[in-house]
Structure 1
């Protein structure tokens, strides 16, 4: 889902075969990065205790990965176009596996943070090659089925990550504790590397686009200026440097925008093409993506802290509390493509409404039963919220791109995926900071969780008329 996903195979050239095992191996490039993002949340309390990390540092453990990943996704895809997608996939997968091992043995929070940054960067080299290779190697119904499987892999990883994390932390195999949530990637990665080296065909784009390193650097700078003070400001008491960084975000974004306009006017390949952002469907799609992924990433972060805090759940119980949400996600991941063909953007509209109901029910439970909650009492709200979230997340990119001219669909997909990773990190910073501030006051964790849930409810309902605008205009493809 990056700008390199434009049709890669030359017209009239028969696509190379991509067997089931090779496709499964390729899909690990979508599954492992998403798994690594969400499996970590349930282990955060244990990491904080073991490495003596502050709440701000724990937010950075989540956010640093997302910043590096979002900044370099388009860069990784363009490198794959020019150097070979199999080559970049192997480089990214190998680096991701090594960084997972380093995260697992990290002796300090500083080492863990550094490894998470590099892990996010290696994921950015790997993930773009998945759909780019599918586009190059498959055609027709096979390609459509593989694209749907990509969505299933991402949805399954998002939903199952925290459950698996809870099981691993609770099992404490070989006394590894939280370290097992990183170590689990290593054997999977090694097997995937061997299979990819042997089975994946090599492909390249006919015309590789130049890598906009200046744009990537400016984007990284803007993200750091925004997210670093948001995560570190509250525990440090909002010192002067946090306000200076937040103020500097505005000129940094302005310089990035100016550079992108100049690059496009001069015939170069900007990181975020302004002409694509001017498309009505893209603007609406970006707004929906920002609303969904910021709230979703933030909720996943705070839910783990709340359930293992005043609710006194174990990591396993906290993970099992998300099992109904995982079930809802998996159902929509499997049937989402079929429903999307029938309802289009109307599916997303229904998803926002169902999600709003689920989070409203969660707020009621948090306000009336807290802290005496358990996985059973949270089951119905989490199932409804997960089902609604899946109906929004699974079809979002496909529905938006169906309303974008085909020549710009590849660029649009890159922008949407970059916004996804950016907003997951932004959610941990913004929603996490708001929750921690409320939880540390007279509100307590139960009311703070209810406030987060009700905020997501309100945002979900606000997105319904915006989604209807997307639905009202379908461009031919």
Structure 2
């Protein structure tokens, strides 16, 4: 649908039309939410953490903006200064949140929540999942459209196999968790890694002119199956470790990790890919990006094994009953 919208070039909007995909989905979610989600109000509504929000947004901007734009602009002084400011803003944000929690306020990110071993371990699993996902999709889109010369519609059709397995795989997560617990993440990482290997071998053994959507489909099918389990299971594991009374903070925290890592993936893996293109070509640069994602999947597999071995994680009282 995104490719079709871009190809249609509605009112000269070009690639910007892709964002229209979200409009009917958001409208449907809003209508269903009004009917299905019960209204609830706190007797003592918490005040917004304005200072914490500003500091957190500033730290993310100071980190992501130079990583995204610095290479293309030749690393000017402003990019270096922003990178240097990022950890300082992060420290200031941490101090503000600790003070707010000690004073009985409502911090944007509760430090005590991060001290929960299950929460911290589950959130770490999100790093390779979302950084790898966004970095892969960024590089793959460039390979399809600039390397292989596909139009937006053909590029969109090429990635359909990934969606065909990603959606049903995510729906199988409750059954997989009942059978394997957190180790389902390890198995999903293995399937995903095999998919990346199949894609890399396809790129290696097939001439550039013969790379068709059909040739790329087997690797994408496997990648989609692994990603579908990973994306759904990440939230299941993370939220299962959050105390029920702090479910709202936990939900916001998991979503923040997701969005931050998606941006970080484009900024880091995407920059690596673009930086290698002039030296090794687009094929070699994309294979290097696939290798980086493979390393991330290995870390994900090891981390999920460790998480599964922690108390309450592998049995029926763990995330399988969440």
TM-score computed with the length of structure 2 as normaliser: 0.89
Name the CA distance, whole Å, in 2 between partners of 1:215 and 1:345: 33
**SS of residue in 2 equivalent to 1:450:** helix
After TM superposition, give the deviation of residue 370 of structure 1 in Å: 5.1
Whether the aligned pair in 1 keeps the contact of 2:162 and 2:223 (CA below 8 Å) is yes
* 5+ residue gaps, structure 2: none
Match of 2:202 among 359, 365, 377: 365
2:227 is matched with which residue?
389
Whether the aligned pair in 2 keeps the contact of 1:212 and 1:270 (CA below 8 Å) is yes
1:380 is matched with which residue?
218
After TM superposition, give the deviation of residue 252 of structure 1 in Å: 0.9
Residues 258 and 328 (structure 1), Cα distance of their counterparts in 2 relative to 1, 3 Å cut? same
Would you say 1:275 and 2:112 are equivalent positions?
yes
2:167 is matched with which residue?
330
Match of 2:301 among 460, 464, 476: 464
Name the CA distance, whole Å, in 1 between partners of 2:33 and 2:256: 25
Would you say 1:288 and 2:125 are equivalent positions?
yes
Deviates more, 1:244-253 or 1:207-216: 207-216
After TM superposition, give the deviation of residue 429 of structure 1 in Å: 1.3
Residues 341 and 208 (structure 1), Cα distance of their counterparts in 2 relative to 1, 3 Å cut? farther
**Aligned-residue CA RMSD in angstroms?**
2.4
Name the CA distance, whole Å, in 2 between partners of 1:277 and 1:184: 35
After TM superposition, give the deviation of residue 192 of structure 1 in Å: 6.5
Would you say 1:414 and 2:252 are equivalent positions?
yes
The CA deviation string for residues 395-445 of structure 1, in whole angstroms up to 9 with x for no partner, is 112123323443444432321111001111111111111111111x12111
2:189 is matched with which residue?
352
**SS of residue in 2 equivalent to 1:235:** coil
Whether the aligned pair in 2 keeps the contact of 1:344 and 1:399 (CA below 8 Å) is no
Would you say 1:180 and 2:17 are equivalent positions?
yes
Name the CA distance, whole Å, in 2 between partners of 1:333 and 1:360: 22
Name the CA distance, whole Å, in 1 between partners of 2:263 and 2:102: 31
Matches within 5 A, 1:160-179: 164-172=1-9, 177-179=14-16
Name the CA distance, whole Å, in 2 between partners of 1:319 and 1:457: 24
After TM superposition, give the deviation of residue 191 of structure 1 in Å: 6.8
**SS of residue in 2 equivalent to 1:271:** coil
2:97 is matched with which residue?
260
Residues 324 and 220 (structure 1), Cα distance of their counterparts in 2 relative to 1, 3 Å cut? same
Matches within 5 A, 1:8-19: none
Name the CA distance, whole Å, in 1 between partners of 2:220 and 2:204: 15
The CA deviation string for residues 141-161 of structure 1, in whole angstroms up to 9 with x for no partner, is xxxxxxxxxxxxxxxxxxxxx
The CA deviation string for residues 251-293 of structure 1, in whole angstroms up to 9 with x for no partner, is 1111111111111111111111111111111121121111211
Whether the aligned pair in 1 keeps the contact of 2:6 and 2:18 (CA below 8 Å) is yes
Name the CA distance, whole Å, in 2 between partners of 1:183 and 1:310: 26
TM-score computed with the length of structure 1 as normaliser: 0.61
2:264 is matched with which residue?
426
After TM superposition, give the deviation of residue 194 of structure 1 in Å: 6.8
Name the CA distance, whole Å, in 2 between partners of 1:384 and 1:233: 34
**SS of residue in 2 equivalent to 1:443:** helix
Residues 191 and 416 (structure 1), Cα distance of their counterparts in 2 relative to 1, 3 Å cut? closer
Name the CA distance, whole Å, in 2 between partners of 1:181 and 1:232: 22
1:218 is matched with which residue?
55
Match of 2:156 among 299, 304, 319: 319
Whether the aligned pair in 2 keeps the contact of 1:311 and 1:371 (CA below 8 Å) is yes
After TM superposition, give the deviation of residue 393 of structure 1 in Å: 1.1
Residues 278 and 196 (structure 1), Cα distance of their counterparts in 2 relative to 1, 3 Å cut? closer
Would you say 1:239 and 2:76 are equivalent positions?
yes
After TM superposition, give the deviation of residue 308 of structure 1 in Å: 0.3
**SS of residue in 2 equivalent to 1:209:** coil
Whether the aligned pair in 2 keeps the contact of 1:366 and 1:449 (CA below 8 Å) is no
1:309 is matched with which residue?
146
Residues 233 and 174 (structure 1), Cα distance of their counterparts in 2 relative to 1, 3 Å cut? closer
* 5+ residue gaps, structure 1: 1-163
Would you say 1:452 and 2:299 are equivalent positions?
no
Name the CA distance, whole Å, in 2 between partners of 1:406 and 1:194: 27
Match of 2:41 among 195, 199, 204: 204
Residues 331 and 258 (structure 1), Cα distance of their counterparts in 2 relative to 1, 3 Å cut? same
Name the CA distance, whole Å, in 1 between partners of 2:20 and 2:237: 36
Query: 4+ residue runs of structure 1 moved beyond 4 angstroms?
Result: 171-177, 184-201
